[in-house]
Structure 1
């Protein structure tokens, strides 16, 4: 899938504050556009990726980016978690 999309991590900012939020991440899609604000979060079942969100006027948070397919979601998760793990070394 990377050959088609050419997704790269543009920035990975790790947080070392002991919270469940471990890092923020920005992705570049095919050198055409980038999406800021992905989150690496420690959950009960391990690390997962939180989508970029914006707070609505009602106080609730809404995703502003959602992968169109399950396969794309898994691929993006793999790209970001791989970068997160390599960033720790």
Structure 2
């Protein structure tokens, strides 16, 4: 699966969200709003989400297979680590 990070915006500060990323899948489909988050076990990639009327957060997009999730996570974290500046 070909996944490309089209935009990476890093945040300054001590909050858990370190960056936002947009991706392009197979050169044909863009998904905006992935988050690079610092958690208890290190960095992870959070899916785009919207808050429902009930106040809970719901993913707007997610990987269906473990292979797709691993590819997406690896691509976004690599771009985050390689991106020295905004």
Q: Say whether residues 1:35 and 2:36 are aligned partners.
A: no
The structure with the greater share of residues assigned to helix is 1
Distance (Å, rounded) in 2 between the aligned partners of 1:42 and 1:61: 18
Q: CA RMSD in A?
A: 1.1
Q: TM-score, normalised by structure 1?
A: 0.90
Aligned to 2:21: 25
| Ranges in structure 1 where 5+ consecutive residues have no aligned partner | none
| Ranges in structure 2 where 5+ consecutive residues have no aligned partner | none
Q: Say whether residues 1:64 and 2:71 are aligned partners.
A: no
Q: TM-score, normalised by structure 2?
A: 0.93
Deviations 1:15-44 (A, max 9, x none): 012111100000011221100000000011
The structure with higher relative contact order (CA 8 Å, sep 6+) is 2
Runs of 4+ in 1 over 2 A off after TM superposition: none
